[in-house]
């Protein structure tokens, strides 16, 4: 890939082409892709395991590069999953943000890290 994809649709096309060249689409079921998201998210968490909050904010360059790659892995699986299920990721995110805004009114929860049913 010479340049990064410009949007999520372009990224999905790029990932689809990559998988097609390798005959991997047969393995990209929603179940397997959802598991891939979780597995890659766990690998991302592993990069931060045992770090203090301060250390997690100031990663050395090689660890930041590893984190970038794990974030990319999560994104790739998530885009593939959304593509398989016909989910518009940006629309889904906007919808979820609106639901969270109603669930967590700013004036009620500002500065609190508690769940919506605990404030």
Which of 92, 93, 49, 97 has its CA nearest to residue 70?
49
CATH 1.10.287.1080 fits 8-110, yes or no: yes
Secondary structure of residue 31 in the 3-state scheme? helix
For residues 84 and 42, what is the distance between their CA atoms, to the nearest angstrom? Answer: 22
Q: Is 5 exposed, middle or buried (0-12, 13-18, 19+ CB in 10 A)?
A: middle
Q: Check whether 103 has a pLDDT greater than 70.
A: yes
Residue 108 tokens read as 């009620």
C-alpha 76/C-alpha 74 separation (Å) is 6
- Sorting pLDDT into bands at 50, 70 and 90, what band is 1? low
- pTM, two decimals, is 0.89
């Amino acid at each position: 890939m010479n340049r990064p994809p410009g949007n999520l649709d372009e990224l999905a096309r790029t990932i689809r082409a990559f998988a097609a060249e390798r005959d991997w689409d047969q393995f990209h079921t929603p179940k397997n892709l959802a598991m891939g998201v979780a597995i890659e998210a766990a690998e991302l968490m592993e990069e931060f395991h045992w770090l203090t909050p301060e250390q997690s904010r100031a990663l050395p360059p090689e660890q930041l590069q590893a984190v970038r790659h794990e974030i990319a892995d999560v994104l790739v699986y998530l885009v593939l999953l959304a593509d398989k299920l016909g989910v518009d990721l940006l629309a889904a995110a906007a919808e979820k943000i609106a639901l969270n805004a109603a669930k967590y009114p700013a004036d009620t929860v500002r500065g609190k890290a508690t769940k919506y049913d605990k404030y």
